[in-house]
Amino acid sequence: MPIPAGHHLFVIDIRYTASSEDIESVRAPHMTFIQQCLDDGFILVSGPKVPRDGGLIIAVGESMDAVQARMAQDPFSTAGVVEMTFTEFDPGTRHPTLAALAQQA
């Protein structure tokens, strides 16, 4: 899926700030949220860190504010069990298999 014109890539670094029990209590709704974001093209890839003390997401958005607002709806965020750091980046160099990312819609 190409990145739509006027959109940017973001890395979202998620760090758990609560007990594993608290994290597990909202994991299912968090995963539902992640799947919805994958389905609508907001998230390109996501997964847990190793060791499992958080996760990483690569997302597509119009602006930092838009990405932060969307991630504020994540059940991990609303439950207050994570801290998120957002970084916008330009994928200037990429593997050929990701060339479609450079095509503007």
Domain extents for the chain? 8-91
In CATH terms, the superfamily for domain 8-91 is: Dimeric alpha+beta barrel (3.30.70.1060)
Give me the count of residues in the chain: 105
Write the pLDDT tens digit of every residue in 88-101: 998 777 777 776 66
Q: Please, which pLDDT band fits residue 105 given cuts at 50, 70 and 90?
A: very low
Cβ contacts of 84 within 8 Å, gap of 6 or more: 12, 13, 14, 15, 68, 71, 77
Is this prediction's pTM over 0.75? yes
DSSP run (H or E) holding 76: helix 75-78
> What's 39's DSSP letter?
H
Are 90 and 11 in contact by the 8 Å Cβ rule? The answer is: no
Q: Is the pLDDT of residue 104 over 60?
A: no
Q: Can you tell me the mean pLDDT for 23-27?
A: 98
